[in-house]
Structure 1
Amino acid sequence: MYFSQEEMDLLKGSNLYQATITRKQDWRAEWQSCIQGLSTLDADLGGALTWEYYLEAATHLSSRAFPSTILSKTPSNTASKLSHAVLLPGIDSLNHKRATPVSWIANISEPLDSSTLDLLIHETVPAGSECFNNYGPKPNSELILGYGFALPSNPDDTILLSLATSNATSSSMVEVGRDAKNAEHLWELVIAKISELDSEEPMSAWEVELEAAETIMSLTEQRLSRLPDVSKAGDVNARQPVLEMIGYYLEGQRAILTDLIQWAQAKRVGARDKALAEGVELVLDDEE
């Protein structure tokens, strides 16, 4: 949200580029709504709420707020439809460390002002060392957009892939992780889509699987080719920390897409073997 236009341009072709634009549009719509509401009460107050002020406030809230469920008798750090954002000064200052074992302990009593909330870290913290919180398994796209940092080789990285459906106005979004995590869900959707297509003759199972594998390979290779290359930034006027976090993010995106291509290639080989078992010999492009 605080990237310069030149820094934003380094993300063109990635999910994060559009996600940042969408969030900025949403927050600007909220800002305009707040101005209208405040102006009905006090015109000067409404006029004083600049976009810069609102952006700063929205950033503080989105990056530091906890779901109100954390203050319940059975605390949870997961938001629900009934929860709302709450700020807990002090305890919200802890930085994130992936996989740090922590527990939230709420001691709710009457009156409420005597209630306490404890963060218990289940590992030894040497004297003088930093105490960390665990924000949960978040991909670098979420860490950059929500908190302004990224982790190298983040195991929780994901990429969103859009698959067109039979309804021309909609598409299915599938989130795939490293090592082709959740690729089976994408596979099932592609298989279903191909099976729905009209054809003069019924397709055999291996034909459907072969087309599904090649569809996923084509989709993934296209996404991979569109990803920007930060190493070619050259004379771009971008801050070094920004270049670093974008580099971590794009490394994860490339790794996921590469893993998915290899996974789809294995599926294609499996389809070829099924065809061979039925007496049909296929020669794949990369085997010629």
Structure 2
Amino acid sequence: KGSPIYYASVSLKNKLYREYEDIKESIFKKYPSKFDIEKYTYDLFIWAFVMLLSRAARLSSKSTGEELALVPYADLMNHSPYSNTYIDAQRSGLPFVSRTEEVALYSDRNYKKFEQVFINYGEKSNADLLLLYGFALEKNPFNSVDISVGLSKDDPLYNQKKIYLDKAGRGAQSVRFPLQLDRYPSELVDFLRLLLVEPEDLGLTTIDRIDFNEPISPSLERRVLTTMISICESYLTQYPTTVQEDELLIADKTLFSALSRQQRMAVKLRISEKRILQQTIKAVEEELLRLPAIVVDDQKITPAGRSFETLDTQKSLSQNQNLNTWVDIRVPKVKDVKAVNSDNKPSIAERRRKRRTGE
């Protein structure tokens, strides 16, 4: 539990059960002479779904265009994110004569005798691989953790923001963004700027005239970054174990080998997700350090522990810039954003700020 994949798997299981019930009511019971409910069971329905999922492949047919086909034995080919080998259709027989098509495996390189040939299932995270195919990889360049954020209905600018999002073709309730070990999407920052912008940030302008791809104010940038930290922390609190506990479990070869294969895969998945979340927090805190200081009640405060004096020598506060542009009298607060599995626990940056100010 704790991993987004847990909720995705429960959702998929419920969806499959509802689909089976719909088929049973609309077809099996309507045509009992053709479909014996005693034979067409839910277990058989799940088996059929697994067969379809594991053997289906999109083929570029020369005669009918792209089509979805069941390819027996395709599930025997293991996945590698680094492989460029793929399955596709090709004409069989004599060129320009035969119209018969067959499935072919196109290799990305020469293989030695008895060497395993891998194919690529696509750019999938470990969560996707575990949910759809039952395994996770030790090294996966496409591994990620999805976080979800949405527009709060308590937002005083809710109507304006919803109209803006509707025009942009993006829902207001919940949008998912993938976090990876070495980066987070700039689209997440842009979206949080919109969610967290307040009337004071707008001045005399309106939301539809603002470019959220660029920083709007120092105060808003702090709210965006501290919100990202809070979201990651809220996800981390949902896991029943810490990274250190998972590392000890994996290091204990006797105990770890006693787990089932599925359990071992789940442990590896959750530790990789927690590392991504922790690395994101670290990266965002470093971004906070690059922001200028703020002034609260005549006290100079930095958002993540750096002294104000060091800021005087930073290039971000060059002599060509007005210092007032980078000084904000409002303490940044995390609000107006909903995260999946979120709680009210203050962020690391917020706790540090309170310790410095004695709150």
Maintained 8 Å contact 2:54/2:75: no
2:231 to 214, 219, 238: 219
* Aligned-residue RMSD, C-alpha: 3.6
Residues in 2 aligned to 1:84 and 1:75: alpha-carbon distance in whole angstroms? 7
Could you tell me how far 1:251 is from its partner in structure 2? 2.0
Residues in 2 aligned to 1:125 and 1:215: alpha-carbon distance in whole angstroms? 50
Off by >6 Å, runs of 4+ in structure 1 = 109-113, 232-236, 281-284
2:140 to 139, 150, 154: 154
Partner of 1:29: 18
Instruction: Report the secondary structure of 1:271's partner residue.
Output: coil
Q: Percent identity between the aligned chains?
A: 21
Q: CA-to-partner distance for each residue in 1:150-207, whole Å, 9 max, x for gaps?
A: 111422111111112144781222122221232x111111111122x23499597111
Partner AA of 1:189 in structure 2: F
Maintained 8 Å contact 2:149/2:175: yes
Could you tell me how far 1:141 is from its partner in structure 2? 0.7
Could you tell me how far 1:269 is from its partner in structure 2? 1.7
Q: CA-to-partner distance for each residue in 1:251-273, whole Å, 9 max, x for gaps?
A: 22112111211221122122226
* Larger relative contact order (Cα-Cα within 8 Å, sequence gap ≥ 6): 1
Paired residues, number: 266
Could you tell me how far 1:85 is from its partner in structure 2? 4.0
249-258 vs 264-273, which deviates more? 264-273
Q: Which has the larger radius of gyration?
A: 2
Q: How does 1:1-288 map to 2 (within 5 A)?
A: 12-36=1-25, 37-42=27-32, 45-67=36-58, 70-73=59-62, 85-108=68-91, 114-167=100-153, 170-182=173-185, 184-195=186-197, 197-199=198-200, 205-229=217-241, 231=246, 239-272=259-292, 277=317, 278=323, 280=327, 285=352
Instruction: Report the secondary structure of 1:125's partner residue.
Output: coil
Instruction: Report the secondary structure of 2:78's partner residue.
Output: coil
270-279 vs 135-144, which deviates more? 270-279
Give the 3 Å change call, closer, same or farther, for CA 161–61 of structure 1 in structure 2. same
Normalised TM-score (structure 2): 0.64
Instruction: Report the secondary structure of 1:268's partner residue.
Output: helix
Residues in 2 aligned to 1:199 and 1:49: alpha-carbon distance in whole angstroms? 62
Residues in 1 aligned to 2:181 and 2:128: alpha-carbon distance in whole angstroms? 16
Partner AA of 1:62 in structure 2: L
Normalised TM-score (structure 1): 0.78
Unaligned runs of 5+ in 2: 155-171, 204-214, 296-310, 312-316, 318-322, 332-348
Residues in 1 aligned to 2:129 and 2:200: alpha-carbon distance in whole angstroms? 45
Partner of 1:8: none
Give the 3 Å change call, closer, same or farther, for CA 246–216 of structure 1 in structure 2. same
Question: Which of the pair is proportionally richer in helix?
Answer: 1
